[in-house]
Amino acid sequence: MTQTNSEPHDIRTSLMSPLRSHVVVLFGGTGDLARRKLLPGLLHLNRAGLVPGCRIVATSLEELDDDAFRALAHDACREFGRGTWDEAAWEEFAATIAYVPQGDGADALAGAVGRAEADLGGDCRRLHYLSVPPAAARQVIAMLADADLVERSRVIMEKPFGVDLRSSRILNAAVHEVFREEQVFRIDHFLGKEAAQNILAFRFANGLFEPIWNRNHIDHVQIDVPETLSLGTRAGFYESTGAYRDMVVTHLFQVLAFMAMEPPTALEPLAISEEKNKVFRSMVPIPPSQVVRGQYLGYRDEPGVSAESETETFVALRCEIDNWRWAGVPFFLRTGKRLAEGARIISIAFREPPKSMFPAGSGVGAQGPDHLTFDLADASKLSLSFYGKRPGPGMKLDKLSLQFALHETGRAVDVLEAYERLIYDAMSGDHTLFTTSDGIERLWEVSTPLLEDPPPVRPYAPGSWGPNAIHQIIAPHTWRLPFERAWRE
């Protein structure tokens, strides 16, 4: 396979080009992600008028025709779409969708894309969305080359990008045989969340916090993403993936990079990737002794799961970034399925003051350190907790907080769902919120000790916070969740 695309090589020339019409080629079109996020997201971008002209050519291993696929897409958009249902808008959108079974081969796919392009009338781009498991990605790349669909195209790749260092290198090499790096958009939807981008705004648009954003003032950091969800129809994918590959090596580490990176020289993709990748390079390889893997009781009875499965549905770990800013500051990460609550928080615990003049029993420190908390929920929030004086005689202290919620801006309706935002960015050629092959390979590299020698999975009760061992890895600190006080409404 040769590189056939003749566009300029400088990434900046393709940055933020005005949006052109697009044919979206959706691989994995009948899959869970397509149904929950991608099809409803494309419908929303279409309704919001953000994409000037768009045709969708969906494909998957299932033998469907256009009408059968449109029916599936209709049900998916109704179930998972946002806002009120508008049948007329749906009809308009449905008319832009075609389906080609992947088994019909490269020529059939090329034919469908050609027809969609003729409909759009000429000057359009192609966006290939690879919503397929890592093992299928290479085959899809080869199919795109065979179908001669590389020119004028960009490709969005879904995580996990490989399953370890070796496979990610092989996958990246296969991708680079066909596409130039600047055509490739490795998606991590956590970076498309409004709240994740707000970490950058909060850190770098204000003078207040950056001076204390380091080991001298920060004691430890928690990135905690418990989910109440189970697997739904994803057992096949999940069994060979597990919580670490599904969530940690992807979303949690990416969010960690936004939290820990140095100020980039500019708010542009190369500068941001450079700083994120420096964080990854400074990460200490994950020792298996600092990891707790868990599996919820009943997982092995789920349809599609092996009765002897050792796949973890939960993982908690301690990691370190051994650089000047963070040396000695532990980062505790946790995520899992069927846990007590669903939440996505980053919690930054500040060091205690060097000396306390408050008398014993005053309550200082009694409710843990003062914290800054980012809630990465769709309705995102931010809280700064601190000790303050309880009104009345004497000097008793209580934990108080300053809180901010996105809806207070009055612009919550403008928020694009993470996938919508990232599909839109990829169409515009903007890599700012995407990950790079170097960064991903480094993350697999630091994961190697764990992947080669994983600790045994420990059972945990559905509805709990994970196996008991999670308290040992974080001691003498404690997990912030469950919160001792609820967010203010």
Measured from the CB of residue 422, what is the shortest distance to ligand BG6 in angstroms?
12
Measured CA to CA, the distance from residue 195 to residue 189 in angstroms comes to: 12
Measured CA to CA, the distance from residue 137 to residue 118 in angstroms comes to: 28
Measured from the CB of residue 192, what is the shortest distance to ligand BG6 in angstroms?
9
251 labelled catalytic: yes
Measured CA to CA, the distance from residue 133 to residue 411 in angstroms comes to: 36
Nearer to ligand BG6 among residue 173 and residue 229 (C-beta): 229
Nearer to ligand BG6 among residue 97 and residue 422 (C-beta): 422
The torsion of the CA quartet 171, 172, 173, 178, rounded to 10 degrees, works out to 100
Nearer to ligand BG6 among residue 228 and residue 478 (C-beta): 228
Measured from the CB of residue 94, what is the shortest distance to ligand BG6 in angstroms?
26
Report the residue closest to ligand BG6, judged by CB: 246
Nearer to ligand BG6 among residue 22 and residue 344 (C-beta): 344
Nearer to ligand BG6 among residue 48 and residue 229 (C-beta): 229
Measured from the CB of residue 361, what is the shortest distance to ligand BG6 in angstroms?
42
Nearer to ligand BG6 among residue 90 and residue 460 (C-beta): 460
Nearer to ligand BG6 among residue 248 and residue 450 (C-beta): 248
Measured from the CB of residue 449, what is the shortest distance to ligand BG6 in angstroms?
24
Q: Tell me which residues touch ligand BG6 (CB under 6 A).
A: 189, 227, 229, 246, 344
Measured from the CB of residue 427, what is the shortest distance to ligand BG6 in angstroms?
21
Nearer to ligand BG6 among residue 90 and residue 237 (C-beta): 237
Measured from the CB of residue 88, what is the shortest distance to ligand BG6 in angstroms?
29
Task: Sheet containing 381-389: give its strands across.
Answer: 397-405, 381-389, 371-375, 345-350, 218-226, 330-336, 314-320, 291-296, 457-460
**SS3 assignment for the chain:** CCCCCCCCCCHHHHCCCCCCEEEEEEECCCCHHHHHHHHHHHHHHHHCCCCCCEEEEEEECCCCCHHHHHHHHHHHHHHHCCCCCCHHHHHHHHCCEEEEEHHHHHHHHHHHHHHHHHHHCCCEEEEEEECCCHHHHHHHHHHHHHCCCCCCEEEEECCCCCCCHHHHHHHHHHHHHHCCHHHEEECCHHHHCHHHHHHHHHHHCCCCCHHHCCCCCEEEEEEEEECCCCCCCCHHHHHCCHHHHHHHHHHHHHHHHHHHCCCCCCCCHHHHHHHHHHHHHHECCCCHHHEEEEEECCHHHCCCCCCCCCCCCEEEEEEEECCCCCCCCEEEEEEECCECCCCCEEEEEECCCCCCCCCCCCCCCCCCCCEEEEECCCCCEEEEEEEEECCCCCCCEEEEEEEEEHHHHCCHHHCCCHHHHHHHHHHHCCCCCCECHHHHHHHHHHHHHHHHCCCCEEEECCCECCCCCHHHHHCCCCCCCCCCCCCCC
Evaluate whether 193 touches 378 at the Cβ level (below 8 Å): yes
- Which candidate in 128, 189, 251, 431 is catalytic? 251
Nearer to ligand BG6 among residue 72 and residue 339 (C-beta): 339
CB atoms under 10 Å from CB of 236, counted, come to 13
Q: Which two tokens stand for residue 371?
A: 């914290």
Measured from the CB of residue 478, what is the shortest distance to ligand BG6 in angstroms?
24
Residues involved in catalysis: 251
